[in-house]
Structure 1
Amino acid sequence: MPRITFIEPDGTVRTVEAAHDESAMQAAKRNGIDGIIGECGGSCICATCHCHVDQAWLTRVGPAGDIEADVLEFEATDVRPESRLACQIPITDALAGLVLHVVGRSR
């Protein structure tokens, strides 16, 4: 199982194991990561799983898709070029070691 490191809003660093058939949001919720709410259950409509992808991982994770970018623009705060919704990051072996900085709450 790939491991993902979440840096919570208070600076707490937590590394969790993620299954290949889940999103980063699902792994975060299953492990009680603070700031990842996932209110919409992964439907890409609420931005309550907003995170910033660590600079070292931007290329591997890739940019937000059009719908995700719209949700970030209209629903999230502190949006940056490295912003992604954790529900839209599928876990693969290529993302083992991924680091996500949790932003959390929507507007």
Structure 2
Amino acid sequence: MPKITYVHFDRTQDTVDVPVGTSVMRGAVSNDVDGIVAECGGNAQCGTCHVYVEPDWLPKLLPIQENEDEMLDGTFCERQPNSRLSCQLKVTEQFDGLVVHTPERQV
């Protein structure tokens, strides 16, 4: 099972096993990782699962889709070039070692 590390704004970290086929957001919620609110449950409709992906990982991810791109323009914390919605990042075996940073706040 791929291990994903969630780095919090205060620099603490949680590394959890996330099943293939689930989302980075679901992995956080299922493991009580702080910093991922996920109000809409993973439908790319709220932006409360916003994360900053470590830049080295960006080329390994599927391209951002239009609905995710639009939602990222309205997140509470500023959008960055490495911003993604964690609900839209479906875990594959290749995600082992993925590192994402949670913003200071989601709402």
TM over 0.5: yes
Residue 106 of structure 2: aligned partner: 105
Distance 1:13 1:96 in 2: 16
Report the RMSD for the aligned CA atoms in angstroms: 1.2
Gapped regions of structure 2 (runs ≥ 5) = none
Count the aligned residue pairs. 106
Give me the whole-angstrom Cα distance separating, in 2, the residues matched to 1:63 and 1:29. Answer: 23
Partner in structure 2 of residue 40 of structure 1: 40
> Which whole-Å CA distance do the structure 1 matches of 2:10 and 2:64 have between them?
25
Equivalent pair of 2:19/2:27 in contact (CA under 8 Å): yes
2:50–2:75 CA contact under 8 A, matched in 1: no
Amino acid at match of 1:83: S
Identity percentage over the alignment?
38
Aligned-residue offset at 1:62:
3.9
What's the offset of the Cα at 1:33? 1.1
Q: CA deviation at 1:94?
A: 1.0
TM-score of the superposed pair, with normalisation by structure 1? 0.92
Report the alpha carbon displacement of residue 63 of structure 1 after superposing the two structures with TM. Answer: 3.6
| Aligned residue in 1 for 2:69 | 69
Q: Could you tell me the TM-score, scaled by structure 2's length?
A: 0.92
Please list every run of at least 4 consecutive aligned residues from structure 1 whose deviation after the TM superposition is greater than 4 angstroms: none
Provide, for residues 49-72 of structure 1, a one-character-per-residue CA deviation record: whole Å limited to 9, x for no partner. 000000111110244211101001
For residue 45 of structure 1, give the secondary structure of its aligned residue in structure 2: coil
Structure 1 residue ranges without an equivalent (≥5)? none
